[in-house]
Amino acid sequence: MIDIENITKDYVMGEEVVHALRGVTLKIHRNEYIAIMGPSGSGKSTLMNMLGCLDTPTSGRYEFNGKSVAEMDDDELAAVRNREIGFVFQTFNLLPRSTSLRNVELPLIYAGIEPERRMERATQVLTDVGLGDRIHHKPNELSGGQRQRVAIARALVNGPSIILADEPTGNLDSKTGEEIMDLLERLYERGNTIILVTHERDIAAHARRTVHLRDGLIELDHAGFIPELDLPIAEMTST
């Protein structure tokens, strides 16, 4: 369903040009669980934004469900993000003054769903992630793990085909992180496609396929999580 070929992304900063991606080719199928790893600055977030149709490549081909993303206009991209993609951010990015329910309703509003259905659906999804009793709480009344679960509920509410999570556990302690990973595991088992960026080996170990980036290129792409293979890079990241 995702098919990118030789994608590059350059950022021009005055005189200097930063090559964030230098030619990435990747195929992702329905119901895959992929971890993207790599050192800081290797282009992981850039690649995620590209996959999530938030950003457009400098060159290369990107087909999403058989449609060329380069040919979509702004509104079509917004529609794809709304219906096909669920974002989970490291910093949760909840609207601070809105309740969990209203936060989760947001994608449904943009999809044009009527208020009763919105409410019903959002409550349902919040209950699914274990927050049935927190729907009228505001983000500052929730713990970090609960906030991230609200964010996941928000990503899920429109029934997207892919969940994109950029370091979803980055701001959580390891125990809460594990809870979030259990939730993602459940989503994967229910048939969702999950792409996750992480630094942590423990987190990456949940995925069924691992992609290593280095300096804007794919260094390794293999099934499962192979400690011997994945260890060195993880260590390099931490040094």
Ligand X SMILES: Nc1ncnc2c1ncn2[C@@H]1O[C@H](COP(=O)(O)OP(=O)(O)OP(=O)(O)O)[C@@H](O)[C@H]1O
Going 79 to 183 to 186 to 117, the CA torsion angle's sign is negative
Identity of the residue, 98 or 221, whose beta carbon is nearer to ligand X in the bound complex: 221
Kindly state whether residue 98 participates in binding Mg ion, applying the rule CB under 5 A. no
Per the CB < 8 A criterion, the answer to whether 6 and 59 are in contact is yes
**Can you give the length of the chain in residues?**
239
Identity of the residue, 109 or 226, whose beta carbon is nearer to another protein in the bound complex: 109
Per rule CB under 6 A, count of chain residues that contact ligand X: 12
Residue 129: closest CA among 168, 83, 91, 182: 182
Q: Give the Cα separation of 66 and 30 in Å (integer).
A: 13
Per rule CB under 8 A, count of chain residues that contact another protein: 28
**Binder among 13, 15, 16, 112 for another protein (CB under 8 A):** 112
Identity of the residue, 31 or 58, whose beta carbon is nearer to ligand X in the bound complex: 58
Within positions 145 to 184, which residues make up the interface with another protein, using CB under 8 A?
154, 158
Identity of the residue, 65 or 174, whose beta carbon is nearer to another protein in the bound complex: 65
Write down the least CB distance from residue 238 to ligand X, Å.
12
Kindly state whether residue 45 participates in binding Mg ion, applying the rule CB under 5 A. yes
Three-state secondary structure readout of 147-208: HHHHHHHHHHCCCCCEEEEECCCCCCCHHHHHHHHHHHHHHHHCCCEEEEECCCHHHHCCCC
- Stretches 27-35, 44-52, 75-83, 219-227: which one binds ligand X (CB under 6 A)? 44-52
Tell me what percent of the chain is helix, strand and coil, each rounded to the nearest 5.
40, 25, 35
With tokens 């040919």, the residue in question is 71
Strand intervals (E) in the chain: 2-13, 16-28, 33-37, 59-64, 67-68, 85-88, 162-166, 193-197, 209-214, 217-223
Within positions 54 to 93, which residues make up the interface with another protein, using CB under 8 A?
54-55, 74-75, 78-79, 81-83, 87, 89, 93
Identity of the residue, 42 or 100, whose beta carbon is nearer to ligand X in the bound complex: 42
**Binder among 2, 35, 42, 210 for ligand X (CB under 6 A):** 42
Q: Which amino acid is at 120?
A: E
What does the block give as tokens for 153?
């509920």
**Binder among 106, 150, 197, 211 for another protein (CB under 8 A):** 106
- Stretches 39-47, 113-121, 138-146, 175-183: which one binds Mg ion (CB under 5 A)? 39-47
When CB distances are held under 5 to 8 angstroms depending on the partner's kind, the choice from another protein, ligand X, Mg ion, none that residue 98 binds is: another protein
Going 175 to 180 to 185 to 189, the CA torsion angle's sign is positive
Q: Which residues bind another protein (CB under 8 A)?
A: 49, 52, 54-55, 74-75, 78-79, 81-83, 87, 89, 93, 95, 97-98, 106-107, 109-115, 154, 158
